[in-house]
Structure 1
């Protein structure tokens, strides 16, 4: 079967192609002799090629390298690549209510929505409603043949979302036999344990072949109390020295910070002393720890004692369970045509966890639940005979956000040969994700305030003070102790909430590829394709969430859809062949036309030049225009009311504080709207926060990126096994989608050179009073972004009498990362060399193999950086971020033809994040699990 022939010869193809290949000893043992192989499609191009220079820089991660890295989720390895940032991960998503447990990747740090993830060259359904980012949890590692990563300029070939590049996950197509794989990971500190079990089976008989995999993976939670570097956290306090030039904030030290204003039974102050209640409800002085200097917020916190202990109610890693089933089937209709089918089913369960609800309420001295001693303290606190109470609702439990996501996807394809030089592919895919969220530990906030405000009626019964609340069923709630409440009161106040959501994606496509005519320098090749895609997303929150009755959680329903029709053409034009300093020169051209139902039509293009100077040196140049269409969330997010305090720049009372740079613009724009020169908002407007709406924007247009890549591949024939690849890349993006809060919307509207700007349409004024009566916090195409850098990879591999050795250094240097949210010059922010975007990131792999034994030592390094480039010495004394390096040692031993054993030690030296403010808990930059032992076994039947 042709598909098996391609699969069998894949590793030799990877050696023939000048690509960045992430692999280890398994590839080293393969012969690199040239073999006759069929044309294959390399990511970054739809044109099938045989062993020629890839038109774009492509990094290849083999399935073997995933196993040897000791990971069971492809996201875990992608997050460590120098060219990527973490999009979402279990270490970064705990506090994202609807996103906990998601695993997404972010090429070049341009945003996960600008990274296109494909499976076998086809789009994959998104992981969260409203988003376009693919959840990598849904793709089991056991069935991955390789992962191809190309960065930049892929929109002309693949369409929207490929601005930063493409991650193309190629799965195995056939398999003979049965393999059982079991592994576990055990950290040196509790929490974060992992278990993995995989069952792979397949057969190839006659014209039919298939491979199926059923896998289960579990990772456990990590709380701040599970890690010593999180338990005793860095503490920042005000600098009280009052010496000119010294920083306003200083790093005080490490400790367990406690805010005394909230306790499990209520905390209040009377006559300068702080009181709380014991478990039985008896009032007593609150136990306080060591008093800290005043914090930047103005609070006085303590080390230890009773109160809101930050470490006890904080969580680092989201627990995640995954079940995946994948089956790929192939049937050879004839020698020239075959039918393919892919089935994906996965179910993931995760939950985010945060502190119990923390509430503040007014407690009156006549509260029926107070003892005479407590009532006396409240009565003597102030003239109103009341105190403010801070309550941490531990009796209701931590707030937990359970996520259950179920994915089902089906793909059917027909591919084959039209003629000796032409082949075709047709396919349809349909994917559906059902994502349900359940809130535990929630409460009806207003009901809580009504229930704790209890009095005795004329019959001596304890009732809720509010007569309307009583009529609605209010039951008085005693929180001044532990579990003293009536169960009916608990039931009236507490609740679980549910949000159901779904995502649908339907795609149909066809492409043809082949040679058009033979030119003097070679064959003119092309690929033509057409694709139709429809996406739908919806959410239906619990009625209590829609009405905003729950503590700190309000959510409105979402429904949005769009469809897009696309046509693309790609040509590979040989220009020169077999002359001095130009063994081959090929021009690569690609163009795509897209017609979106919401944003209209757009185009993307790409020009590339591949120059093989001689056998050892190849040079490539690519320049392209890419686009990203807004996703469903950006377009159709439902309106949610918000309140902001605004300053009206058109008011006479505001003129003294106007930005002098834009003073004349502001005055001109106010006059152009017909606002009188002596305008002053009404007294009511000044006295309250103003309502507005957070909402999607169906008027959004596509983002545009212009990018360029220039690089070379050097494989000296005089040094066998040595190769050097280097590429310079740059992205210049405009019309980037960004969202602004109400005060910024007002400021930028009037600071612009005219009223013809994207901000002014988001403001509504009363036609008579001219008061701002409404504003919309919509996403708009206002931002600019510039990113540039250099990728380098150095490989050297050689054999000796005592085994084979391999060395590989993969590096990314970030030259520029600038972002401007508005287009105003002073709003440009330079993020180059900040913590998440250090100047240098390296991944160095040394591997060794001898007989049945192989081992690999991997070093991951991030260079020293800073928290902020806008830092000045008078701000704080903790801006510098030290470099960070981890070491992983993994090994494999083939005990027999059937049995393989694996052993690894990840983060060998238990490297922790920097113990500094805003660094110690950054899961997107550092290893939060710590040193861990991995053990695995694989058996082939």
Structure 2
């Protein structure tokens, strides 16, 4: 039953490429089938169904990437290839997460652009623990490429088969199960411009000992940082200014234009402090001497009216920006198998991994008031500042800007360790039925440490000094009692270590994730019908997940610059039961060689969001040996994750426009005026209500917090497609699938002003927004608000997937072509359900109409080469753009080419070489594009070299 005979391999191949015959694609080799040799046929479980089948194609569309295909792509991280697939977007990656605190270095994939939390990643058909506390998205860094046999991607709702999170589809990573030998693989990737280099080393070993077998892999990978200064297209950035020639009477005259390219500098921050007085901007030399600041070429006013400079002293945006997060990975994986007999087997998977990444941003940048009697200032500065009073202080005062370079760049290291074990037993109950019992347990420890931090209040106390009894001391008496020492930042190296130590600090946040799953499934044939066997699968599963975070006490107290965090603690469990049926309806008729009805259902009960159901129905219609049509309709659900439910309260502040105030009556949206007035009255707010001047003159406090009242998101999707294998053209297959996702009850968060807006614009106060606003019962003023996630959003996403495969042989080698394309028909998103809030994203930069990947391969004896094109169609930044906004809305098409090759020196030694982004295609050099790692290659042209040796 478990022997990998030639027939079973051919059947698996035919199924995974979604064709009726074994269509060859790069990375696959089709074995000749000799039925005299094949005495057993393996039942195969294909992603999207738990029914093990013989000789049938996948009931839902499946795209396959083989382990060999990963090698041919020149990547050492599975995420790097998934991010380039036409049917996926980047959830998070090292190119997009540098400034995402707690997430630097994570690699998540996002099917259909519906969100990485709506993409379920499985390993060998089983759930894998998430990568960040509060999230359900899997960190692909924890799965080494050397262990991957293939990746099956199904992009239809699969909750009926796999449960929550499979709204957009499933990425099922199938690992190798056995190996006999030892393989060493090393590679390096060198970039044409410095930064971003990669190193990789892998040791794979295993043994086949009869009934027992195992395969283990130890791998190490390192990718280096890319700063904006490392790339010319990032360093010399586009600069947007207010259009000096704008004609307000011309609707085609843009308000903002691209002035040119260069290193933009903000003059109001320097490494020794800067201030303006008498029309001149001053700073301090390293020895503390005051001098005029060296300014670069003044730019025309920006859109905000601020004037920046081209070069000169100040905050250089390129110098203080970083693109790619450095990432080190160590992975150890072992898969062990033991066959008790021909019918029963035990499997065990062990995953251990450690990843280290760090995000980096500029030093802290601070504004403070410097007084004319500050004893740390040189006398010339004190005399000058004494003449400036900012209208409030007789001592004289100026606003000072300081870039705290002495404290170093703000860095936050991410240290993540993962341990996961999966134990399973599967086999045959009888000739018709098979079973699978399994458990998995995983733990992630994710610790974040900050460097270059400071106690912000201590800093302000330490830089404000006076002379007292002939000594320079901190001005604030309470701060002095607490240990404050004067910190002279008006120069370099002018303060004592003790003063620095009192202000500076490091901080840490510890976090952990736990996941425990136990489940069982049976599948087999129930009865024989006239058209074939009625097949079924039944499964039960229990899952429990926990997440905790514990920030540093200083972070909890909000004492650090720009870093405040509260502890998180949350958990949930879910009990699920599912059934799936494959019912043959017709066989052997004209135009109906075979017609099968597919259906599945799942009932689930969450301890947090209650009970729910998911279902799927479908038809597989084999018209003849060349053409098969398939149709699927399903309902999927996504339960809210721990972060959305239990995120701790974090205080925030906002200036609020109160629609119930009489001063706002003339500005009310006429479409909702009646609703607003009725809802204000329904809350007992007087018709002549007006907040106090004190309320108007200050920001209002509120909280960003999770919401334990969230319910499940709902998705309805449909897929209609066909698979075509013409008899007149051997080794050719074409699959075309139309798909559409309608999502409702989606989880969304809102700003304070939007909470007020939607509360009162609704038909009544009985809505999800009004409970998030608190008013004083006496004054009726808004005194608190809660930015909670709520179930309010809707979206529709539809399109067409096309995949074509063709392989042919000649006297001078074998050729293969594979085209994978996705056409986006529609993408709309509505965060509230109000008609006016619907946004059309179709054809915007994130979601261009077409995305394509073309793979061509050539094999001749011991040599092979693969040429790959990755394409994004031209698009726009914003569909709601009008010509009077700016002159840079159009996004050009974008194509990169990769060329990789392999040569087998002998049976043991293989060498690889390649050029990735071989024409050094850079992102479009326009705002919103030039530095966008979500959509463009930030590495530039690079060269790969690898060696593989097998003992």
The TM-score range, normalised by the shorter chain, is over 0.9
In the alignment, the residues of structure 2 paired with residue 33 and residue 736 of structure 1 have an alpha-carbon distance, to the nearest angstrom, of: 53
Equivalent residue for 1:401, pick from 412, 415, 419: 412
- What are the within-5 Å matches in structure 2 for residues 244-255 of structure 1? 244-245=249-250, 246-255=253-262
Contact 1:93 / 1:318 at 8 angstroms: preserved in 2? Answer: yes
Matched, 1:416 2:393: no
In the alignment, the residues of structure 2 paired with residue 18 and residue 680 of structure 1 have an alpha-carbon distance, to the nearest angstrom, of: 67
Contact 2:14 / 2:23 at 8 angstroms: preserved in 1? Answer: no
1:58 maps to 62
Gap runs ≥5 in structure 1? none
* Range with greater deviation from structure 2 (19-28 or 571-580): 19-28
Equivalent residue for 1:106, pick from 104, 110, 113: 110
1:912 maps to 922
1:124 maps to 128
**How far is 1:651 from its partner?**
1.3
SS of match in other structure, 1:210: strand
2:92 maps to 88
SS of match in other structure, 2:486: coil
* Range with greater deviation from structure 2 (527-536 or 243-252): 243-252
2:164 maps to 160
Equivalent residue for 1:631, pick from 627, 630, 641: 641
In the alignment, the residues of structure 2 paired with residue 424 and residue 696 of structure 1 have an alpha-carbon distance, to the nearest angstrom, of: 40
Contact 2:646 / 2:705 at 8 angstroms: preserved in 1? Answer: yes
**How far is 1:4 from its partner?**
4.7
In the alignment, the residues of structure 2 paired with residue 242 and residue 132 of structure 1 have an alpha-carbon distance, to the nearest angstrom, of: 48
Contact 1:40 / 1:50 at 8 angstroms: preserved in 2? Answer: yes
**How far is 1:723 from its partner?**
1.0
2:905 maps to 895
Contact 2:23 / 2:805 at 8 angstroms: preserved in 1? Answer: no
For each residue in 1:163-184, what CA deviation from the matched residue of structure 2 results, as whole angstroms up to 9, or x when unmatched?
A: 0000000001110000000000
SS of match in other structure, 2:671: helix
2:459 maps to 448
In the alignment, the residues of structure 2 paired with residue 617 and residue 29 of structure 1 have an alpha-carbon distance, to the nearest angstrom, of: 21
For each residue in 1:391-430, what CA deviation from the matched residue of structure 2 results, as whole angstroms up to 9, or x when unmatched?
A: 0000000000100000000111011000101000000100
In the alignment, the residues of structure 2 paired with residue 256 and residue 146 of structure 1 have an alpha-carbon distance, to the nearest angstrom, of: 45
In the alignment, the residues of structure 1 paired with residue 142 and residue 27 of structure 2 have an alpha-carbon distance, to the nearest angstrom, of: 26
In the alignment, the residues of structure 2 paired with residue 16 and residue 257 of structure 1 have an alpha-carbon distance, to the nearest angstrom, of: 55
1:388 maps to 399
- What are the within-5 Å matches in structure 2 for residues 67-466 of structure 1? 67-243=71-247, 244-245=249-250, 246-382=253-389, 384=393, 385-457=396-468, 459-466=469-476
* Range with greater deviation from structure 2 (233-242 or 71-80): 233-242
**How far is 1:3 from its partner?**
3.8
SS of match in other structure, 1:237: strand
In the alignment, the residues of structure 2 paired with residue 29 and residue 904 of structure 1 have an alpha-carbon distance, to the nearest angstrom, of: 26
1:585 maps to 595
Matched, 1:19 2:18: yes
1:641 maps to 651
In the alignment, the residues of structure 1 paired with residue 839 and residue 419 of structure 2 have an alpha-carbon distance, to the nearest angstrom, of: 42
Q: CA separation of 1:605/1:26 partners in 2, compared to 1, >3 Å: closer, same or farther?
A: closer
Q: Could you tell me the TM-score, scaled by structure 1's length?
A: 0.99
In the alignment, the residues of structure 2 paired with residue 817 and residue 636 of structure 1 have an alpha-carbon distance, to the nearest angstrom, of: 30
In the alignment, the residues of structure 1 paired with residue 909 and residue 630 of structure 2 have an alpha-carbon distance, to the nearest angstrom, of: 44
**How far is 1:684 from its partner?**
2.9
What RMSD in Å do the two structures reach over aligned CA positions?
1.3
Contact 1:70 / 1:890 at 8 angstroms: preserved in 2? Answer: yes
1:865 maps to 875
Gap runs ≥5 in structure 2? none
SS of match in other structure, 1:501: strand
2:845 maps to 835
**How far is 1:326 from its partner?**
0.3
**How far is 1:240 from its partner?**
2.2
In the alignment, the residues of structure 1 paired with residue 25 and residue 459 of structure 2 have an alpha-carbon distance, to the nearest angstrom, of: 60
For each residue in 1:444-470, what CA deviation from the matched residue of structure 2 results, as whole angstroms up to 9, or x when unmatched?
A: 11111111001110x210100011111
Q: CA separation of 1:299/1:202 partners in 2, compared to 1, >3 Å: closer, same or farther?
A: same
In the alignment, the residues of structure 1 paired with residue 319 and residue 246 of structure 2 have an alpha-carbon distance, to the nearest angstrom, of: 34
For each residue in 1:543-569, what CA deviation from the matched residue of structure 2 results, as whole angstroms up to 9, or x when unmatched?
A: 000000000110000000000000000
How many residues align? The count is: 939
Q: CA separation of 1:7/1:147 partners in 2, compared to 1, >3 Å: closer, same or farther?
A: farther
Contact 1:12 / 1:31 at 8 angstroms: preserved in 2? Answer: no
For each residue in 1:807-846, what CA deviation from the matched residue of structure 2 results, as whole angstroms up to 9, or x when unmatched?
A: 1111000011110001111111111111111100000011
SS of match in other structure, 1:377: helix
In the alignment, the residues of structure 2 paired with residue 300 and residue 576 of structure 1 have an alpha-carbon distance, to the nearest angstrom, of: 75
Contact 1:352 / 1:400 at 8 angstroms: preserved in 2? Answer: yes
In the alignment, the residues of structure 1 paired with residue 336 and residue 711 of structure 2 have an alpha-carbon distance, to the nearest angstrom, of: 40
In the alignment, the residues of structure 2 paired with residue 6 and residue 393 of structure 1 have an alpha-carbon distance, to the nearest angstrom, of: 66
**How far is 1:768 from its partner?**
1.9
SS of match in other structure, 1:723: strand
**How far is 1:52 from its partner?**
0.7
- What are the within-5 Å matches in structure 2 for residues 712-727 of structure 1? 712-727=722-737
SS of match in other structure, 2:560: coil
Q: Could you tell me the TM-score, scaled by structure 2's length?
A: 0.97
**How far is 1:97 from its partner?**
1.0
**How far is 1:9 from its partner?**
4.6
For each residue in 1:443-497, what CA deviation from the matched residue of structure 2 results, as whole angstroms up to 9, or x when unmatched?
A: 011111111001110x210100011111111111000001211111110111000
**How far is 1:867 from its partner?**
0.3
SS of match in other structure, 1:815: strand
In the alignment, the residues of structure 2 paired with residue 902 and residue 251 of structure 1 have an alpha-carbon distance, to the nearest angstrom, of: 43
Contact 1:23 / 1:62 at 8 angstroms: preserved in 2? Answer: no
In the alignment, the residues of structure 2 paired with residue 207 and residue 32 of structure 1 have an alpha-carbon distance, to the nearest angstrom, of: 25
**How far is 1:319 from its partner?**
0.2
**How far is 1:10 from its partner?**
3.4
In the alignment, the residues of structure 1 paired with residue 6 and residue 255 of structure 2 have an alpha-carbon distance, to the nearest angstrom, of: 62
1:5 maps to 4
In the alignment, the residues of structure 1 paired with residue 940 and residue 442 of structure 2 have an alpha-carbon distance, to the nearest angstrom, of: 37
Q: CA separation of 1:22/1:182 partners in 2, compared to 1, >3 Å: closer, same or farther?
A: farther
In the alignment, the residues of structure 1 paired with residue 538 and residue 27 of structure 2 have an alpha-carbon distance, to the nearest angstrom, of: 36
Matched, 1:802 2:836: no
For each residue in 1:833-879, what CA deviation from the matched residue of structure 2 results, as whole angstroms up to 9, or x when unmatched?
A: 11111100000011000101010000001010000001000000000
Contact 2:2 / 2:342 at 8 angstroms: preserved in 1? Answer: no
Contact 2:122 / 2:170 at 8 angstroms: preserved in 1? Answer: yes
Q: CA separation of 1:470/1:191 partners in 2, compared to 1, >3 Å: closer, same or farther?
A: same
- What are the within-5 Å matches in structure 2 for residues 679-828 of structure 1? 679-828=689-838
In the alignment, the residues of structure 1 paired with residue 118 and residue 585 of structure 2 have an alpha-carbon distance, to the nearest angstrom, of: 33
Equivalent residue for 1:541, pick from 548, 551, 563: 551
Contact 1:115 / 1:162 at 8 angstroms: preserved in 2? Answer: yes
In the alignment, the residues of structure 2 paired with residue 134 and residue 265 of structure 1 have an alpha-carbon distance, to the nearest angstrom, of: 44
**How far is 1:146 from its partner?**
0.5
* Range with greater deviation from structure 2 (22-31 or 863-872): 22-31
2:497 maps to 487
Contact 1:4 / 1:174 at 8 angstroms: preserved in 2? Answer: no
In the alignment, the residues of structure 2 paired with residue 754 and residue 576 of structure 1 have an alpha-carbon distance, to the nearest angstrom, of: 54
Q: CA separation of 1:651/1:51 partners in 2, compared to 1, >3 Å: closer, same or farther?
A: same
For each residue in 1:221-277, what CA deviation from the matched residue of structure 2 results, as whole angstroms up to 9, or x when unmatched?
A: 000000000000000000122412211000111100000000000010010000000
**How far is 1:381 from its partner?**
3.0
